[in-house]
Amino acid sequence: MTTYILRRFLYLIPTFFGATFLAFLIIQLAPGDYITQFELDPRFTPETIARFRAQFGLDRPVHEQYLLWMHNLLHLNLGYSFAYQAPVLEVVWPRVVNSMIIVIPATVLLFLVAIPVGVYGALRQYSLGDRVVSFLAYVGLAIPNFFLALIFMYLILQVYFRTGVMVFPVSGMTSTGFEQFPTWQKILNVAWHAVIPVIVVTTSDIAGFSRVMRGQMLEVLSQDYIRTARAKGLAERMVVYKHALRNAVIPFVANIGAILPGLISGAGLVEVVMAWPGITPLLLDSLRQQDLYTVAGFLTMGLVLLMIGNLLSDLLLTWVDPRIRYE
């Protein structure tokens, strides 16, 4: 096992450099750079613009810019944000934390709800409960996240207009006067604002996850070793939860590698629609302004977490599936 882990770390080194260079190159393919917008501003002379490009290293060839950025990266410096005039880590990390407030509870709820729902659908195939769950899952798959968020916002506002009670906030992360709140009230206030985004993200993910879980369970339950276990008189609970479920979750364990980068990648357009100050609005703004190092720095964080997550997935597979050996 130790040899396997060391070998995997060695494989990660060229993967890291290749992926970061490719990401850096793709970002550079966009015409112009962050300084280009100043060329249309009469307050900036050509000499000033040339001085800015030299200051940020944007007048150098792409490979030199990459090597300079990589040199800083190896010293744990993700670069400098042109737009925010601050180190990238200081700009990105608070937004990542804000996104985690949504993503972590949504991920936990996803597994707590989707796996039992999928198992129930497989054990009660074509029953009334299975058909209702399947119908709701198909509806969930058909409705995009951002549209579901808009539906929730509409319903909450309708309740507010009719009763004068704002059940949940429809946008933002904090209420007015948040800075004057005591600590416990700040936590409750943020949690209150996060309820709808968490529900929206979880609901849409549960739809797809539960359908895949149901399909995996149905496939495993039809295997010969399950029939053999039942024929030997094992209790149904033992057959389902020890033998069938353990094998049915193997594909999900293999995909755990995507969970780690998913924790920092935000809730997508839900954050934009509900004005949540997460990582997605920051990335969209950085792409629009061609804030090179902010985008590259965030991609690098996601890449590192993806590689670590994939390694953890492979190690967990040996625990879930005893047939797998790493020699």
pLDDT of residue 267: 67
Give the domain ranges of the chain: 93-276
Give the global pTM: 0.77
| 121 contacts 134 by C-beta, under 8 angstroms | yes
CA distances from 310 to 19, 102, 255, 279, 327 (A): 15, 23, 8, 23, 18
Distance CA 320, CA 184 (A): 40
Given the structure tokens 């049915």, which residue do they identify? 248
Distance CA 128, CA 120 (A): 11
CATH-assigned architecture of domain 93-276 = Orthogonal Bundle (1.10)
Looking at the DSSP bridge assignments, the partners of residue 81 are: 86
pLDDT of residue 237: 84
CA distances from 96 to 190, 263, 292 (A): 15, 8, 18
Please provide the DSSP assignment of 222-255 as one string: TSHHHHHHHHTT--HHHIIIIIIHHHHTHHHHHT
Q: Mean pLDDT of residues grouped by 10 in the chain (327 residues)? A: 78 86 83 74 76 76 84 81 82 86 86 87 85 82 84 90 86 84 88 89 81 86 86 85 81 72 70 86 84 83 82 76 67
Looking at the DSSP bridge assignments, the partners of residue 80 are: 87
